[in-house]
Amino acid sequence: MLSNLAVRDVETLIHPYTNLDAHRSAGPLVLERGDGVHVYDTEGRPYIEGMAGLWCTALGYSNGELVEAAREQMAKLPFTHLFSGRSHDPAIELAEVLKELMPVPTSKIFFTSSGSEANDTQVKLAWYLNNALGRPKKKKIIGRQRGYHGVTIATASMTGLPANHTDWDLPLPGFLHVGCPHFYRFAEPGETEAAFSQRLADELEATILREGPETVAAFIAEPVMGAGGAIVPPEGYFAAIQAVLARYEVRFIADEVICGFGRLGTWFGSEALGMRPDTLSFAKALTSGYVPLGGVSVDEPLYEAMRAQSLKIGTFGHGTTYSGHPVACAVALKTIEIYKRERIVEGVAAKAPHFQARLSRLAEHPIVGEACGLGLIGGLEIVADKASRRQYEPKAGVAARCVAFAQAEGLIVRFLMGDRIAVCPPLIITADEIDALFDRLTRALDRTADWIRAEGLEAMPAA
């Protein structure tokens, strides 16, 4: 029986990434408040927020300093914009701070309201740059299977997940995808990580050559794949990929929307994985998720091209109403101040070995084929047979059932395609809370194994 609030939800809201038919009977989990790493539903039941909301609430819930930063800015200047040369102090100061933090040479910062908008901007800037340089054919964008970059028409085209393409008439022409760097699932028998990485780099090069290097503008990648399965790239992957990109003057875009601002124990995931992108996109943990804000780093060659085109055309014809919103910028400044003062990034590096050790132990569970991660992010894959790595039929919804059991145990995690489960807690999580998280997840896996036996589920037939 759904509560009155749940019925009102079902009758009024469309929920992203939700089975809308099943939602009519299941209803929502309605959350009322949050504190630290916990959120509480309308019945007062606590849950460890094992996904930091949506990979973003780095400083946990109800941080008084962030609330006060928003209040102060709301009282002083609740809104103005950056159009037509207008500006405000929070945007200027935040751009200065971000330029200093960027792991790549950065001339300017362009603000957006989300990671999707940031990556959409990256596509437009890559096209704009090549028009400015007299290379009108150099427009194709290469993403990766299972990569996730957003839900606008362009960013969903860059994304390599079937649900973002099926019946949406996507991807658009000019958006290509190469192999997913998931060693556990896609390596050939006997193949080393280094050999797997080189094979993927060879595939990328073959794709560029097939399409024509003069037509390929950019390659985009997350340091650690998020929505595609919390997948850590294999040994030597980015070094091999970057060598190919350099040969054919293909811009490298790092999608740091999830990994940026401490998630991997470094300020940006690019630093943790030896990436040397030309530009990067950021969002989420920039404000600890409290206020929507994202952005793009603009390198000097790109800025000079933008400036020249602005002179020629008469304006830089791109921007959104809330780019550099003063309240969002003020909260971001306070968030970064806390990261620095409380040594949050260093704290992640110190806690990561314990987190990863608890995660790795889950690989011993009878229904878990892989459990690995980096920093304070991890993924595990449920399999029907550990030796052959065969999976259950997708329609069985095994990972979804496990996530439901986790919720019953007081833990929020997320299921992803391929019966994968992601874990991505607030960066402020303590060692005891890490243990509580994995204890609850282990119990959820135990309950899932019991359910599988009771249902008599079998592995998919061998390919």
Please tell me the predicted confidence (pLDDT) of residue 85.
Answer: 95
Instruction: Label each residue of the chain as H, E or C.
Output: CCCHHHHHHHHHCCCCCCCHHHHHHHCCCCEEEEEECEEEECCCCEEEECCHHHHCCCCCECCHHHHHHHHHHHHHCCCCCCHHHCCCHHHHHHHHHHHHHCCCCCCEEEEECCHHHHHHHHHHHHHHHHHHCCCCCCCEEEEECCCCCCCCHHHHHHCCCHHHCCCCCCCCCCEEEECCCCHHHHCCCCCCHHHHHHHHHHHHHHHHHHHCHHHEEEEEECCCECCCCCECCCCCHHHHHHHHHHHCCCEEEEECCCCCCCCCCCCCHHHHCCCCCCEEEECHHHHCCCCCCEEEEECHHHHHHHHHHHHHHCCCCCCCCCCCCHHHHHHHHHHHHHHHHCCHHHHHHHHHHHHHHHHHHHHHCCCEEEEEEECCEEEEEECCECCCCECECHHHCHHHHHHHHHHHCCEECEEECCCEEEECCCCCCCHHHHHHHHHHHHHHHHHHHHHHHHHCCCECCCC
Q: Is the pTM of this model over 0.85?
A: yes
Question: pLDDT-based confidence at 460, cuts 50/70/90?
Answer: confident
What would the mean pLDDT of 190-203 be, rounded to a whole number? 98
Task: Please check the confidence at residue 462 and state whether its pLDDT lies above 80.
Answer: no
Cβ neighbours of residue 369 under 8 Å, at least 6 residues apart? 184, 363, 381, 382, 383, 386, 389
Nearest to 417 by CA among 218, 25, 72, 147: 147
pLDDT tens for 329-366 read 999 999 999 999 999 999 999 999 999 999 999 999 99
User: Residues 384-439: pLDDT tens digits?
Assistant: 999 999 999 999 999 999 999 999 999 999 999 999 999 999 999 999 999 999 99
- Here the tokens at position 284 are 């989420």
Q: Residue 133 and residue 129: Cα distance in Å, rounded? A: 6
Task: Write out pLDDT tens, residues 43-87.
Answer: 999 999 999 999 999 999 999 999 999 999 999 999 999 999 999
Per the prediction, the chain carries an average pLDDT of 97
> What domains are defined for the chain?
4-62+343-455 (3.90.1150.10), 66-341 (3.40.640.10)
pLDDT of amino acid 463? 66
233 pLDDT above the threshold of 80: yes
Q: Return d(Cα 270, Cα 4) in angstroms, integer.
A: 46
